[in-house]
């Protein structure tokens, strides 16, 4: 089966190469024959099928415990449940690269499948650039990180090393694939952009397609980033979810530029402005996904994650330089066709606010990139390696994120082209007053730190602008359909008609919820360390914790020491929950890990970690975190993902036409 | 390009530049290996450092009256330089002798007083360690 997998990988490489070369050759012709386009389309789909077979081949070796394969031996063993044998496919660098190849090729296949509706002059170059990403990543997999390698022939290993205990987690099944779906999806907008530049087919068609595919990738990337944070929160035992580590930052960078792109694309669609800007964002976003892969596989920066100090860094760097250089050359070549249709007329216009939003997002992106690369820069320029940590990222990004929240309230409400003073007053007076009153109320309630007060009041300001928009939309819709403003049918019709607009509002509302949760968990977090004997109590906030006992447990592949701690409400001494934090020892890997006990609540999370037990085995040392509103961070993320899906999923044209017809009928009565 | 476009972009280049410059100046710390720290600091204190090294015995972990972890670190690639570390906090997952750690803190009185201690955790980016293999890979037997 492993031979089959390797053969499929080689075949995919050959097909991707054919796709790139043939796509460019066909694209250069003045007339594009339908048969050529169809052949290229099939080649693009075949690449994904071949890579699927390669992935299946590797998966089969894991499931059947084939420890003659080096990669399987390294990351699996017989005791692991079957689900971890599957997730171990991407548990190491070689397999994760293969998964990457498959996912990027799968995206390309989906685009190819849908491409029959796309403008024909765009197609040959589209297939060529779609196949570029799979070709590059298959090349890396095949020649540098091949998972289809045997151990020495004389060795028949009875069992494998096993996956590291920290990776034996259900999140391993979903977090890396989701994140990869986000990263790899960003190869599609890049392919559209480069195909448009290469073919000269620079009408607004390609930018609309870019928007849809960017949104799909963005939704996956959002889910992947948040899942990573949730995993870290549950698993690592330090009470937080984001540490500005290079791996986390690598996933955030393309998310920031993709978010900027999703806003600026609208300016080009509506007004024909920011054409070169959007191309730059598309290329930058794709380049940052490649940069992230380079960062995590080159070993150039220190991280809490173990990185490979491999020699494949230069391959990524060469590819990165290639894609940027090609884009620059093509933009210069097409500069006349990329002139904006008009200039931004007023600071008080939606296009100016969207540009501001882009600049804030890019500033955050630059700051994060600077923070990640600072050790490299400082060593190159001063000879001394220096680094920056969480204080740097917070100092720069907190004010920038808050200004982004402010713009989130302004952007969707302000008019295109130019907003009159009366419109501005009508739209923003009440929200400003609301935000101001919230700030006064918070100070009066004893919250006096600047950033939390600013954050909460800005969130309230934005919430009021969203509600104001909704109210205006419902009133207008009620006028058209002659129904009540607040009836569910009016809301449903409005939502169907302006799905993209209100989907975006759902995303914005999710961001607000997350912002409140992050502010609360940063500003009002409680941390305590204490030791308890059986029956002893510790009181904090509105809770008391009592140690019932400490006990030892034996499981299939680990042993555990567990503290049973009764969590009570101080108000009436009622038992809320029994928390069971653990220390686990995995004899096979000789690793000790902590298992957090967590009580998620709407007001706060009670997060308990067992630090150790004394020599008698009866007293437990514990670390407690009380994280206010933490659960709302995850709710906010879910809202963002739902909003992303609402905006990304296309509505059948027939349904839209039927709806419009119905409304026209009502108006004519 | 329009006047407004240029004004906004220029404004952000300046504001972003100042923010990043100020934050870098106020928060950056020196990155050192244990051997470099021993050479550089000698008898002097050195505030705000990040040190990456390999955990070495003896390791002491007391949980009462407060949680304190003390251990030594050496250069990851070996060597004689040893630096004692004191960390008042939870022992992180996977912490053990022979593990690589990242420490942020101050070098005071010949010891690193760690404000933050992280064990390098496994990730999908980790390479196959040749030394960890039962025998080296037979390249001739690679498929294909």
Summarize pLDDT for A416-428 with one digit per residue, the tens. Answer: 888 888 888 888 9
In the predicted model, what is the mean pLDDT of residues A400-425?
A: 89
Summarize pLDDT for A425-452 with one digit per residue, the tens. Answer: 888 999 999 999 999 999 999 999 999 9
| Cα gap B84→A261, rounded to integer Å | 49
Number of domains in chain B: 1
Mutation for A interface: B15, B125, B136, most A CBs within 10 A = B125
Q: Cα distance from B42 to chain A (closest Cα, Å)?
A: 17
Whether residue B79 is contained in a domain is answered as yes
Identify the CA nearest to A43 among candidates A26, A68, A63: A26
Cβ of B144 within 8 Å of Cβ of A94? The answer is: no
Q: Work out the number of other CB atoms within 10 angstroms of the CB of residue A425.
A: 11
Confidence tier at B133 by pLDDT (50, 70, 90):
very low
Residue B88: which domain range?
26-119
| Cα gap B117→B69, rounded to integer Å | 10
| Cα gap A470→A171, rounded to integer Å | 37
| Cα gap A410→A414, rounded to integer Å | 6
> Across the interface, which of B26, B63, B134 has its CB nearest the CB of A621?
B63
The Cβ-side half-sphere exposure at A163, using a 13 Å CA radius, reads 28
Sort out which chain B residues have CB atoms less than 8 A from A89's CB and list them: none
Q: What pLDDT, on the 0 to 100 scale, is given for residue A78?
A: 85
Residue A613's H or E segment, with its range, is: strand A604-613
DSSP B121: B
Chain A nearest-CA residue for B93: A593
Cβ of B121 within 8 Å of Cβ of A306? The answer is: yes
Q: What pLDDT, on the 0 to 100 scale, is given for residue B131?
A: 41
Q: What pLDDT, on the 0 to 100 scale, is given for residue B121?
A: 61
Mutation for A interface: B1, B95, B122, most A CBs within 10 A = B122
Please report, for residues A185, A349, A532, A563, A566, the alpha-carbon distance to residue A537 in angstroms, rounded to integers and kept in the order given: 52, 60, 7, 14, 9
Answer whether 0.80 is exceeded by the pTM: yes
Whether residue B133 is contained in a domain is answered as no
Confidence tier at A624 by pLDDT (50, 70, 90):
very high
Q: What pLDDT, on the 0 to 100 scale, is given for residue B136?
A: 36
DSSP A552-584: EEE-SS-EEEEEEEEEEETTT--EEEEE--EEE
Whether residue B3 is contained in a domain is answered as no
Question: Which segment, A5-14, A613-622, B43-52, B79-88, is predicted with the most confidence on average?
Answer: A5-14
Whether residue B125 is contained in a domain is answered as no
Q: Does A70 touch chain B (CB under 8 A)?
A: yes
CATH number for B67: 2.40.50.140
Whether residue B47 is contained in a domain is answered as yes
- List the 55-74 stretch of B: residues with Cβ below 8 A of A: 61, 63-67
Domains annotated on chain A, with CATH? 1-168 (no CATH), 171-339+348-407 (no CATH), 420-490 (no CATH), 526-631 (2.60.98)
Q: Cα distance from B48 to chain A (closest Cα, Å)?
A: 10
Q: What pLDDT, on the 0 to 100 scale, is given for residue B122?
A: 53
Q: Does B80 touch chain A (CB under 8 A)?
A: no
Inter-chain Cβ pairs, chain A and chain B, closer than 8 A: 229
Is-contact B94 A139, C-beta < 8 A? no
Whether residue B16 is contained in a domain is answered as no
Q: What pLDDT, on the 0 to 100 scale, is given for residue A2?
A: 81
Q: Does B142 touch chain A (CB under 8 A)?
A: yes
Whether residue B37 is contained in a domain is answered as yes
Cβ of B67 within 8 Å of Cβ of A362? The answer is: no
- List the 18-37 stretch of B: residues with Cβ below 8 A of A: 19-20, 22-24, 26-32
ipTM: 0.75
Q: At what angle do helices A630-648 and A499-523 cross, to 10 degrees?
A: 160
Summarize pLDDT for A185-212 with one digit per residue, the tens. Answer: 999 999 999 999 999 988 877 888 899 9
> Across the interface, which of B27, B63, B94 has its CB nearest the CB of A388?
B27
Summarize pLDDT for A486-539 with one digit per residue, the tens. Answer: 888 888 888 888 899 999 999 999 999 999 999 999 999 999 988 899 999 999
Summarize pLDDT for A76-103 with one digit per residue, the tens. Answer: 888 888 888 899 999 888 899 999 999 9
Summarize pLDDT for A233-282 with one digit per residue, the tens. Answer: 988 888 889 989 888 899 999 999 999 999 999 989 888 888 999 999 99
According to DSSP, the residues that pair with B118 across neighbouring strands are: B102
Four-CA torsion B51, B29, A380, A306, nearest 10 degrees: 40
In the predicted model, what is the mean pLDDT of residues A127-148?
A: 94
Mutation for B interface: A343, A386, A401, A530, most B CBs within 10 A = A386
Whether residue B87 is contained in a domain is answered as yes
Sort out which chain A residues have CB atoms less than 8 A from B137's CB and list them: 70, 149-152
Q: Does A618 touch chain B (CB under 8 A)?
A: no
Identify the CA nearest to B128 among candidates A144, A73, A166, A74: A74
Cβ of A614 within 8 Å of Cβ of B64? The answer is: yes
């Amino acid at each position: 089966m492993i031979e089959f997998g390797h053969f499929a990988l080689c075949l995919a490489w050959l097909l991707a190469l054919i796709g790139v070369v043939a796509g460019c050759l066909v694209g250069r012709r003045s007339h594009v024959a339908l048969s050529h386009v169809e052949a290229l389309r099939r080649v693009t789909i075949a690449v994904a099928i071949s890579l699927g077979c390669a992935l299946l081949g590797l998966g089969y070796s894991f499931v059947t415990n084939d420890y003659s394969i080096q990669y399987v031996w390294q990351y699996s063993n017989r005791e692991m449940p079957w689900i971890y044998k599957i997730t171990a496919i991407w548990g190491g660098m070689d397999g994760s690269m293969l998964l990457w190849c498959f996912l990027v090729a799968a995206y390309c296949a989906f685009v190819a499948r849908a491409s029959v509706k796309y403008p024909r002059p765009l197609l040959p170059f589209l297939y060529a650039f779609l196949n570029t990403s799979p070709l590059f990543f298959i090349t890396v997999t095949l020649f540098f990180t091949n998972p289809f390698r045997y151990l020495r022939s004389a060795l028949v290993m009875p069992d494998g090393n096993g996956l590291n205990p920290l990776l034996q987690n259900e999140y391993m099944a979903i977090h890396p694939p989701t994140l990869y779906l986000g990263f790899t999806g960003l190869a599609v907008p890049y392919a559209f952009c480069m195909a448009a530049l290469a073919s000269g087919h620079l009408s607004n068609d390609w930018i609309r397609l870019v928007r849809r595919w960017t949104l799909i990738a963005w939704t996956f990337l959002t889910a992947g980033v948040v899942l990573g944070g949730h995993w870290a929160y549950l698993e690592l035992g330090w009470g937080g979810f984001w540490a500005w580590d290079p791996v986390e930052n690598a996933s955030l960078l393309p998310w920031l530029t993709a978010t900027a792109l999703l806003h600026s694309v609208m300016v080009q669609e509506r007004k024909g402005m920011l054409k070169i800007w959007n191309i730059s964002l598309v290329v930058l976003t794709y380049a940052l996904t490649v940069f992230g892969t380079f960062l995590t596989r080159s070993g150039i920066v220190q991280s809490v994650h173990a990185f490979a100090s491999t020699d494949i860094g230069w391959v990524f760097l060469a590819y990165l330089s290639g894609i940027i250089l090609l884009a620059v050359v093509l933009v210069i070549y097409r500069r006349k066709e990329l002139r904006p249709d008009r200039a931004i007329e007023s600071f008080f216009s939606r296009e100016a606010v969207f540009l501001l939003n882009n600049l804030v997002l890019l500033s955050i992106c630059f700051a994060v990139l600077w923070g990640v690369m600072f050790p490299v820069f400082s060593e190159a320029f001063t000879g001394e390696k220096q680094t920056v940590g969480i204080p740097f990222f917070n100092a720069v990004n907190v004010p920038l994120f808050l200004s982004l929240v402010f713009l989130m309230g302004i952007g969707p409400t302000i008019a295109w082209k130019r907003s009159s003073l009366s419109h501005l007053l009508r739209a923003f007076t009440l929200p400003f007053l609301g935000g101001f009153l919230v700030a006064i109320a918070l100070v009066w309630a004893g919250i006096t730190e600047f950033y939390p007060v600013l954050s909460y009041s800005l969130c309230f300001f934005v919430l009021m602008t969203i509600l104001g928009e909704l109210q205006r939309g419902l009133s207008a819709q009620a006028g058209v359909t002659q129904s009540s403003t607040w009836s569910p049918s009016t809301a449903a019709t409005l939502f169907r008609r302006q799905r993209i607009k209100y989907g975006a509002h759902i995303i914005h509302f999710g961001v607000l919820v997350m912002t409140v949760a992050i502010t609360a968990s940063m500003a009002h977090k409680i941390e305590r360390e204490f030791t308890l004997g059986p029956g002893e109590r510790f009181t904090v906030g509105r809770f008391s914790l009592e140690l019932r006992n400490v006990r030892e447990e034996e499981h299939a592949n680990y042993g555990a020491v567990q503290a049973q701690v009764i969590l009570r409400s101080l108000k009436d001494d009622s038992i809320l929950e029994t928390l069971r934090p653990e220390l686990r020892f995995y004899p096979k890997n000789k690793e000790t890990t902590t298992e957090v006990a967590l009580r998620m609540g709407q007001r706060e999370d009670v997060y308990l970690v067992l630090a150790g037990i004394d020599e008698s085995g009866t007293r437990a040392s514990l670390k407690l975190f009380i994280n206010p509103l933490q659960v709302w961070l995850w709710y906010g993320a879910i809202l963002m993902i739902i909003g992303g899906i609402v905006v990304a999923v296309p509505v059948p044209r027939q349904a839209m036409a039927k709806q419009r017809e119905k409304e026209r009928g009502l108006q004519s009565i | 390009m329009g006047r407004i476009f240029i004004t906004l972009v220029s404004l952000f280049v300046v504001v972003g530049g100042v923010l990043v410059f100020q934050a870098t100046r106020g928060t950056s710390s020196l990155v050192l290996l244990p051997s470099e720290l021993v050479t550089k600091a000698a008898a002097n204190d050195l505030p705000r450092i990040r040190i990456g090294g390999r955990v070495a015995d003896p390791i002491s972990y007391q949980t009462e009256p407060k949680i304190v972890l003390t251990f030594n670190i050496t250069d990851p690639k070996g060597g004689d330089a040893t630096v004692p570390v004191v960390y008042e906090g939870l022992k992180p997952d996977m912490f053990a002798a022979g593990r690589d750690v990242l420490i942020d803190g101050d070098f005071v009185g010949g010891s690193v007083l760690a404000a933050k201690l992280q064990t390098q955790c496994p990730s999908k980016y980790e390479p196959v360690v040749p030394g960890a293999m039962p025998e080296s890979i037979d390249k001739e037997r690679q498929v294909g």
